[in-house]
Amino acid sequence: MKAVIKYSLHDYLRSHKYFPPISTFIILIFVYYSYTPNPIIDSYAVTSLILYIISAWVCISVLSLDPPVQRQLMILHIGGENRYYLSKLITVLLISIILTAYAFVYPILFTMFNGSVTLTIGLVAIVNHVSLSILGICIASFFSKIITESAVNSYGGLALTIIISIAALGIYDALPSYLKGIVWIIPPATITQTPLINWDGDNVLDLSFFPFIWVIIYALLLLYLFLKLARRFQK
């Protein structure tokens, strides 16, 4: 798997498909912190949501790199379809972790906050960024050309899903009480936002862990379904 991950990273850089999503992320972070000072927790909550979108974008571009014949050869070389697809998704996760580091360190280096970032706040912020990036990656995998051949359906479906997931809180408030349970099937991209905004940052035990756990559970369920569907569509 290491060889495929290394190859995928080099191939992604050579393709120049990295430029639109990566440059967009860098610019958005720069613009967001153009006004100072900023609240620490609220700011990290917003940048994690931005990373969620960018991670999905990176994922769909990485999964579009290999043509069918090359994909089959790499699957044979690595010893299984699941190993191939996991290698691709891990490649995207590594890129997202690098972007997480940028989003975390940039405002600290240039003193963009109205206070100091404690170890507790820093760890929670990093976990939230990585968790939402994993969610974005797993969602985007369903709209990759591995499953969706049409580029219009691929990018259109992904954009619509992301928009709905971000609007989930508004959708929940608008629905009648007997329909509110439907929101649970929507990707929980914003479920961690409210707990973080209401958290004072002093004690991690005062923070509700369920939203973060649900994000990971939801992402793992999507990953399982993607691996099942990918094998079926490639037969």
- 143-185 pLDDT tens trace: 988 888 777 888 899 999 999 999 988 888 888 888 888 888 9
**In the predicted structure, residue 234 carries a pLDDT above the cut 70:** no
CA–CA distance, 42 with 169 (Å, rounded to integer):
17
The verdict on pTM exceeding 0.85 is yes
The alpha carbon dihedral of 183, 200, 103, 9 has a sign of: negative
pLDDT, greater one: 204 or 54: 54
pLDDT over 90 percentage in the chain: 64
Mean pLDDT of 2-6: 88
- 53 has a pLDDT exceeding 70: yes
pLDDT at 235: 55
Mean of the per-residue pLDDT values for the chain? 91
Angle between the 68-78 and 81-109 helix axes, to the nearest 10 degrees?
100
Looking at residue 47, its pLDDT comes to 97
Q: Is the peptide bond before 176 cis (omega within 30 degrees of 0)?
A: no
